């Protein structure tokens, strides 16, 4: 697992589709990519089958660009809309059975540590709210309680999008959906709160509209998970199809939702701050010098 793995076996390049060859020749590997360079390299196949205007696709793209070491990262995904794009990007992908992503990622993280020792290998779970908070809830929480060192990213579209619009634990109370015609009876689950209680070292909530912020939280989460402990990012990634959001209003919807109930939040433990400050140059987390005493 390194830059070597993306190269074609000699003689095979000419049989690969052009889009795929472009990802290998002009992908993010071995570079320190930033969202400011979006469009200058190829991190994902253009022909992924997600719906036009889907905010989840934008978030996934930004998150992939923000990965600190793409050639040393494994994405773990599962059934759900997100994997349609995640599995067609220039990052290694493992498909975990629905609900099992965090168990798969736990084993993978431990295996990579045994195989590669201190050479950093990053594992990132990216899955829907149904996959992480409902059917995979036990595995998600236990990976956090056990302090498994990988990042969990929830693509929170507040619905089971891929199966046609059932409510999930992350749907808001009262929300009427195609397959919840009477409206949801229960509150949205507080997964951010649970992540903190369960011991995550870094927890953040974001929307896709601010690329620099997405980049910042992804980088911090992945770096902290390398050494300090589990990390969790919850991203509002609306389902414009099931929520009936006109394509041209998808970004405005995210802005409105951010204002009303999905504010940017960031929680970071002291250990994580110290690690980022001392190992990765995050000067803002250096301890403040004690004020000079007045005699
Ligand atoms: C073990 C298992 N149970 C159920 C399914 C069916 N299934 C596929 S996608 C999906 C819902 C996905 O919803 P979510 O995880 O919220 O992701 P989204 O599609 O909304 O992005 C379900 C229930 C499955 N593939 N495997
Ligand atoms: S069904 Fe919803 S979440 Fe899934 S790709 Fe379409 S718009 Fe995106």
> Which has the higher per-residue pLDDT, 279 or 295?
279
Helix H segments across the chain?
18-26, 55-66, 82-86, 101-116, 129, 137-145, 191-197, 211-227, 250-260, 270-280
- Asked if residue 156 has its Cβ within 6 Å of ligand 2, the reply is no
Helix H segments across 160-236?
191-197, 211-227
The CA radius of gyration of the chain, in Å to the nearest whole number, is: 19
Q: Which pair of structure tokens corresponds to residue 258? A: 């951010």
Query: Is-contact 159 168, C-beta < 8 A?
Result: yes
pLDDT digits (tens, 9 = 90+) for 265-285: 999 999 999 999 999 999 999
Ligand 1: centre distance to CA 81 (Å) = 8
Q: How far is CA 101 from the centre of its chain?
A: 13
Residue of 254, 243, 43, 34 lying closest to 159 (CA atoms): 243
Q: Which pTM does this prediction carry?
A: 0.95
* Mean pLDDT score, 54-60: 95
Q: Provide φ and ψ at 266, rounded to 5°.
A: -145, 125
**DSSP letters for 79-96:** SSTHHHHHTTBSSEEEEP
Mutate-to-test residue for ligand 1 from 79, 127, 129, highest number of ligand atoms within 8 A of CB: 79
Q: Residue 211 to residues 68, 105, 226, 286: CA-CA distances in angstroms?
A: 15, 26, 23, 25
CA distance 138 to 178: 27
- Asked if residue 223 has its Cβ within 6 Å of ligand 2, the reply is no
- Domains annotated for the chain, with CATH where assigned, are 3-279 (3.40.50.970)
- Per-residue pLDDT at 26 exceeds 90: no
pLDDT digits (tens, 9 = 90+) for 168-194: 999 999 999 999 999 999 999 999 999
Report which protein residue has its CA nearest ligand 1's atom 5: 98
Ligand 2: centre distance to CA 265 (Å) = 25
Query: Is-contact 204 195, C-beta < 8 A?
Result: no
């Amino acid at each position: 697992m390194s830059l070597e793995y993306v190269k074609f076996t000699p003689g095979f390049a000419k049989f690969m589709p052009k889009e795929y060859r472009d990802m290998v020749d002009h992908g993010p590997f071995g570079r320190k990519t930033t969202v400011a360079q979006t469009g200058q390299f190829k991190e994902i196949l253009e022909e992924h089958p997600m719906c036009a205007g889907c905010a989840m696709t934008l978030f996934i793209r930004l998150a992939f660009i923000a990965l600190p070491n793409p050639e040393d990262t494994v994405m773990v995904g599962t059934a759900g809309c997100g994997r349609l794009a995640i599995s067609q990007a220039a990052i290694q992908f493992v498909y975990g059975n629905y609900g099992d992503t965090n168990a798969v990622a736990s084993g993978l993280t431990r295996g990579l540590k045994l195989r590669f020792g201190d050479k950093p290998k990053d594992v990132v779970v990216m899955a829907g709210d149904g996959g992480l908070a409902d059917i995979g809830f036990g595995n998600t929480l236990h990976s956090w309680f056990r302090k498994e060192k990988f990042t969990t990213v929830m693509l929170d579209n507040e619905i089971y999008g891929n199966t046609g619009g059932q409510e999930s634990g992350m749907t808001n109370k009262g929300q009427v959906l195609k397959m919840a015609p009477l409206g949801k009876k229960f509150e949205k689950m507080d997964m951010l709160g649970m992540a903190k209680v369960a011991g995550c070292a870094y927890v953040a909530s974001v929307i896709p509209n601010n690329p620099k912020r997405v980049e910042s939280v992804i980088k911090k989460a992945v770096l902290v998970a390398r050494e300090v402990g589990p990390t969790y990012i919850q991203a509002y990634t609306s389902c414009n199809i099931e929520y009936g959001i006109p394509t041209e209003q998808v970004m405005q919807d995210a802005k409105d939702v951010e204002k009303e109930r999905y504010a940017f939040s960031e929680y970071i433990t002291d250990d994580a701050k110290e690690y980022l400050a001392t190992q990765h140059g995050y000067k803002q987390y250096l301890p403040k010098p004690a004020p000079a005493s007045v005699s």
